[in-house]
């Protein structure tokens, strides 16, 4: 028998008996950030490809959500900070080795950009709209005339926004569940998938909906591939990774993960979308909602389980 005890009475809140220093604000932000990244990515991409009019929800209307998603996400992050009123220190430096630093700066730019982008389409929704104070109308004109370059910037920022949280988690040596190279692409794909699902749900045009249904199917396929690849990696890795994987195979997370996240959050919506493409009438809300909920639960589980995985010594 092996027994390990701490004999000097250590019981630090949120660290003993196991780490849980990141609570609900973090998965909330991860979800909202990923969703915003997905929406903005498609908006930027289809703008660059010149298909704004063909896919108006993607390019214009869905972006109206993003400022709110990002701001709520930022508020969640702010709530999580323990030394909150020093948050501005983030912006006095940029640290290449810290993905969180990249994230801070990306958010610093993408949030106003998403506001500008979505605001520049307000006139299309409300034709008589005029901004007050007046100089904002000139800003709007600038945005519209520089639409393509802005789209490129937004594309770039959206990719970083979508992928950096995964890279951030994977850079922690101490958490075997996260410490692998697949988490970044997986988070990005998941973010794009939730974005596509939202666009599909919001869209009023059958053509747009079916394009995004197809995109979503491909993205779900990629996600499933990455997840399987992830677990193959765990099972071929060192003991700490075997133990991390074990949480999802025979441990407490097995049912929530494979059942809710993969089953209900990926496979079922995929089947529904296939059926819809084949002509069966399914309200778009249904698969979209499943994908969104699945995406949120996925991030929640990853944050919690990752903190449980550790190096015994």
Partner 1 sequence: MLKASSLAQYTRSPEWATKAIPNFCEVCFWKCAKWVNLDEDGNIRSLKGIDDDPHCNGRLCPRGTGGLGMYYDKDRLTTPLMRVEGGDGQTFKEVSWDEALSFIAEKMNSLKERYGPESVALFNHGSSGKHFTHLLKAFGSTNITAPSYAQCRGPREVGFKMTFGQTLGSPEPTDIRDTRCLVLIGSHLGENMHNGQVQEMSDAIDQGADIITVDPRYSTAASKSRYWLPIKPSTDLALLLSWIHVIIEEGLYDKDYVEKHTYGFDRLRHHVKRMTPEWCYGITTIKPDLIRKTARTMAGASPAVIVHPGRHVTWYGDDTQRTRAIAILNALLGSWGRRGGFYFSEKVKIPSFPTPDYPKAKWSWRELLDGKYPLAGLSVSQTFIEASIAENKSEHPIKGWLVSGTNLPLTIPDNSRFEKAVQDVELFVAVDTMPMEVTGYADVVLPECTYLERHDDLRSSPHRQPYIALRMPAVEPLGDSKPAWWMARELGLKLGLDAYFPYEHFEEVLEWQLKQLGTSMEEMQMTGIKRFERQNPSLYLKDEEVPYYNTLSGKIELYSTELEQHGFDPLPNYVAHPEPPDNYYRLNYGRAPMHTFSRTSNNDYLTDLMETNTVWVNPRVAKIWGFKKGTKVKLRNQDGVVSDFPIEVRITERIRWDSIYIVHGFGHNNKKLTKAYGKGVNDTALITKVMTDPIMGGTGMRGNFVTFELIEEPENATI
Partner 2 sequence: MRYAMAIDTKKCVGCSDCVIACQIENKVPIGYCRDWVTETVVGTYPDLEMEIRSERCNHCDNAPCVRCCPTGASYIDEGGIVLVTPNKCIGCGACIESCPYDARFSHPTEGHVDKCTFCVHRVKKGEQPACVSVCPTKCMYFGDINDPSSEISQILSKRKYKVLAPEAGTRPQVYYLI
User: Does 3 contact partner 2 by CB under 8 A?
Assistant: yes
Number of residues that bind partner 2 (CB under 8 A): 51
User: Does 307 contact partner 2 by CB under 8 A?
Assistant: yes
Q: Which of 171, 182, 249, 264 binds partner 2 (CB under 8 A)?
A: 171
User: Does 9 contact partner 1 by CB under 8 A?
Assistant: yes
Q: Of 14 and 49, which CB lies nearer to partner 1 in the complex structure?
A: 14
* Smallest separation, CB 167 to partner 2 (Å): 11
* Smallest separation, CB 152 to partner 2 (Å): 26
Cα 104 to Cα 99: distance, rounded to the nearest angstrom:
9
Cα 117 to Cα 206: distance, rounded to the nearest angstrom:
25
Nearest of 70, 64, 67, 71 to residue 121 by alpha carbon = 64
Residues of this chain, 215-274, that bind partner 2 according to CB under 8 A: 238, 240
Query: Half-sphere exposure of 189 toward its Cβ, with a 13 Å CA cutoff?
Result: 19
Residues of this chain, 46-105, that bind partner 1 according to CB under 8 A: none
Q: Of 252 and 277, which CB lies nearer to partner 1 in the complex structure?
A: 252
Residue 248, sorted as left (phi over 0), alpha (psi -120 to 50) or beta, turns out to be alpha
User: Does 19 contact partner 2 by CB under 8 A?
Assistant: yes
* Smallest separation, CB 303 to partner 2 (Å): 10
Q: Of 10 and 82, which CB lies nearer to partner 1 in the complex structure?
A: 10
Contact indicator for 188, 162 with CB cutoff of 8 Å: yes
Q: Which does 210 bind (CB under 5 to 8 A by kind): partner 1, partner 2, none?
A: none
* Smallest separation, CB 308 to partner 2 (Å): 12
User: Does 87 contact partner 2 by CB under 8 A?
Assistant: yes
Three-state DSSP state, 22: coil
Go through the chain and tell me how many residues it has.
Answer: 313
CA 249 from centroid of its chain's CA atoms? 24
Q: Which of 30, 104, 186, 215 binds partner 2 (CB under 8 A)?
A: 104
Q: Of 9 and 279, which CB lies nearer to partner 1 in the complex structure?
A: 9
Q: Which does 141 bind (CB under 5 to 8 A by kind): partner 1, partner 2, none?
A: none
The residues of the shown chain that bind partner 1, judged by CB under 8 A, are: 1, 3, 5, 7-9
């Amino acid at each position: 028998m092996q027994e390990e005890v701490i004999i000097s009475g250590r019981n630090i809140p949120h660290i003993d008996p196991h780490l849980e220093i990141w609570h609900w604000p973090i998965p909330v932000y991860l979800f909202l950030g990923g969703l915003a990244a997905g929406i903005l990515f498609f908006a930027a991409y289809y703008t660059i490809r010149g298909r704004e009019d063909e896919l108006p929800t993607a390019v214009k209307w869905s972006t109206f959500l993003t400022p709110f998603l990002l701001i709520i996400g930022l508020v969640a992050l702010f709530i999580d900070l323990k030394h909150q009123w020093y948050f501005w220190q983030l912006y006095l430096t940029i640290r290449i080795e810290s993905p969180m630093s990249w994230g801070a700066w990306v958010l610093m730019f993408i949030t106003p950009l998403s506001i500008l982008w979505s605001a520049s389409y307000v006139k299309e929704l409300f034709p008589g709209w005029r901004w007050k104070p007046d100089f904002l109308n000139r800003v709007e004109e600038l945005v519209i005339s520089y639409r393509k370059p802005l789209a490129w910037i937004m594309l770039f920022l959206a990719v970083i926004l979508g992928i950096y949280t995964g890279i951030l988690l994977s850079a922690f040596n101490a958490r075997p569940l996260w410490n692998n190279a697949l988490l970044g692409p997986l988070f990005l794909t998941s973010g794009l998938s939730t974005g596509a699902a939202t666009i599909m749900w919001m869209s009023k045009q059958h053509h747009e909906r079916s394009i995004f249904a197809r995109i979503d199917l491909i993205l779900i396929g990629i996600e499933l591939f990455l997840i399987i690849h992830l677990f193959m990696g765990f099972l071929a890795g060192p003991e700490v990774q075997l133990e991390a994987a074990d949480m999802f195979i025979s441990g407490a997370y097995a049912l929530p993960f494979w059942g809710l996240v993969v089953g209900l959050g990926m496979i079922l919506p995929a089947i529904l979308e296939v059926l819809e493409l084949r002509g069966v009438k399914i309200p778009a809300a249904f698969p979209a909602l499943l994908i969104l909920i699945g995406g949120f639960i996925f991030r929640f589980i990853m944050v919690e389980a990752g903190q449980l995985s550790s190096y015994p010594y």
